[in-house]
Amino acid sequence: MFTGIVTAVGSIATVRPTQGGVRLHVNAPGLGLADGQIGESIAVNGVCLTAIAFSHDGFDADVSRETRRCTAGFEQGARVNLERALRLSDRLGGHLVSGHVDGVGRVVSVANAGDNRVFWFDAPPEVARYVAVKGSIAINGVSLTVNDVKATQFSVNIIPHTLAATNLGALAAGARVNLEADTVARYVERLNQFGQSGRAS
């Protein structure tokens, strides 16, 4: 479990094929991995990956074919947002993020709003159904508040600190991003499916 508060921006140093997918080496300066443990979860662009090895400059993680199929941003050289797993003693500065990406969205437009930027994204219908005004969404692992919604598109306002501290500042129209809807919305939908009868519809 994560908070969507990115603590470092790293890069995909190498991508090596394996029998089940690929093995990444992620350069992770500033992530603070001195106490890293094999098997711990690290969010990479919002995708929960398991660290299988640590080195002086980062960590290795395996990515299955299925994960690569339904996510974006694991090409060699790509800049990635990084967050270590939430500890029970941590402040929950964003919202609860599982690291299980719901779908890949696309940047529709980017506009300056003073020193902020307003982004419009297009989400797959299966993700858009969970996006609500003033609700939370994770974009490349960054916890953000939805400003507006129109059909399958939604907008967010990103402040200068977030633009500088994540890879979102480099996004342009057409870029693909990992999206994770608020977990609460999925549970509400499931409860509604059962309705008053107690049976799923």
Q: Note down pLDDT in tens along the chain; length 201 residues.
A: 899 999 999 999 999 999 999 999 999 999 999 999 999 999 999 999 999 999 999 999 999 999 999 999 999 999 999 999 988 777 778 788 999 999 999 999 999 999 999 999 999 999 999 999 999 999 999 999 999 999 999 999 999 999 999 999 999 999 999 999 998 888 888 888 887 566 665
State residue 95's pLDDT score. 85
State residue 199's pLDDT score. 67
State residue 59's pLDDT score. 98
Do residues 100 and 48 touch, judged by C-beta distance below 8 A? yes
State residue 112's pLDDT score. 96
Question: How many angstroms from the chain centroid is the CA of residue 178?
Answer: 5
Say how far apart CA 21 and CA 39 lie, in whole Å.
Answer: 18
State residue 75's pLDDT score. 96
Q: CB count, 10 Å around CB of 107?
A: 18
Q: CB count, 10 Å around CB of 113?
A: 9
Please state the three-class secondary structure of 164-176 as a single string: HHCHHHHCCCCCE
Domain boundaries defined on the chain: 8-84, 103-189
Question: Which of these, 60, 139, 148, 133, lies nearest to 104 by C-alpha position?
Answer: 139
State residue 15's pLDDT score. 97
Quick: pLDDT tens for 61-108.
999 999 999 999 999 999 999 999 988 777 778 788 999 999 999 999
Say how far apart CA 156 and CA 159 lie, in whole Å.
Answer: 10
User: What's the fold here for domain 103-189?
Assistant: Elongation Factor Tu (Ef-tu); domain 3 (2.40.30)
Domain 8-84 and domain 103-189, same fold? Reply is: yes
- Two tokens at 178? 């990992």
Among the four given CATH numbers 3.90.1150.10, 2.40.30.20, 2.40.50.140, 1.10.3720.10, the one describing domain 8-84: 2.40.30.20
Q: CB count, 10 Å around CB of 103?
A: 18
Question: How many angstroms from the chain centroid is the CA of residue 199?
Answer: 33
Do residues 31 and 8 touch, judged by C-beta distance below 8 A? yes
Half-sphere exposure (Cβ direction) of 86: Cα atoms closer than 13 Å: 16
Do residues 130 and 189 touch, judged by C-beta distance below 8 A? yes
State residue 192's pLDDT score. 85
Helix (H, G, I), strand (E, B) or coil at 7: coil
- Per DSSP, 126 falls in state H
Helix (H, G, I), strand (E, B) or coil at 101: coil
State residue 197's pLDDT score. 60
